[in-house]
Amino acid sequence: MSHEKNLPENLDIEAVRSTLLEAARAAGEITLPVFRSGAVVDNKEDQGFDPVTRADRDAELAIREIVEREFPEHGIVGEEYPDKTSDSPFSWIIDPIDGTRAFISGVPVWGTLIGLTHKGRAIGGLMSQPFTGEIYLGLAGASTRLWDNEKSRLSVSGVQKLADAILFTTTPALFSRPQRAAFDGLENKVRLSRYGCDCYAYCLLAAGHIDLVVEPGLNIYDIAALIPIIEYAGGRVTTFEGGVPDGGGDIIAAATPELHRQALDIMGSK
């Protein structure tokens, strides 16, 4: 399922592209110097651990400033600050550091996520990993990787069977008990499974390196930017029930419809 047909005719795609890239660079100038430098970590939860750093907050402010300058009429939803409401059908969805646990652990699988939605559907998205220098961009029907001054078109793998698939999830500990039982069954059917890649796993899927990502309980800012990257590379993303994933929830992302259907049969309604 692609969002390409849903692109509004009055949207300036090049302005969106330049805004995404400028915002990603601005965020990277804040997050990269702090990475692996002993960042001070606050806990957003009274019980449990939901880490946030000053870099999260400062990077989101930098992104918001650029978006508000270029598209002042658009809404904004971010992880660290209150939503900016608007009558516009467009909203920018921001996660300044997706994978803060990886960030504070020195593992370069975190990323800055910036998405654009129209009437609630994700139509453009970017993931920036400043440590590796990679940017993954899904916009106007094309999914690309920008790295080392080179641009390459992304395409998912052609894997159609679970027995041939590489499966990723951030950690099985996030699943509910019924979901964990279903995930264990799914994991037993795939060729290989790995944990801990956060947003980076979805980009690996879009690039054809892995085939399946299954994760529960995602917020809108965890997934909105990644949907166009995957779908414009030929992949499929839904909730566990097969529904629209743009607002978050329990997510299945797969390289092919056939692979997605098999994962959905196992994880659905759990």
Specify the pLDDT at position 8: 81
DSSP 53: E
pLDDT of residue 6: 60
In angstroms, rounded to a whole number, what is the distance separating the alpha carbons of residues 230 and 224?
A: 11
- The residue with tokens 């993931």 is 127
Span 162-267 CATH architecture: 3-Layer(aba) Sandwich (3.40)
Q: How far apart are CA 185 and CA 239, in angstroms?
A: 18
- Whole-number average pLDDT of the chain: 93
CATH of 4-153, one of 3.40.50.2000, 3.40.50.620, 3.40.50.970, 3.30.540.10: 3.30.540.10
**What are the tens digits of pLDDT across the range 115-134?**
999 999 999 999 999 999 99
Cα 201 from Cα 223, distance rounded (Å): 12
Q: Name the band, by pLDDT with cuts 50, 70 and 90, for residue 1.
A: very low
| Report field, pTM of the whole predicted structure over 0.85 | yes
- Tokens 């978050």 belong to 248
Q: What are the residue ranges spanned by the domains of the chain? A: 4-153, 162-267
| pLDDT of 3 higher than 50 | no
User: What pLDDT sits at residue 9?
Assistant: 76
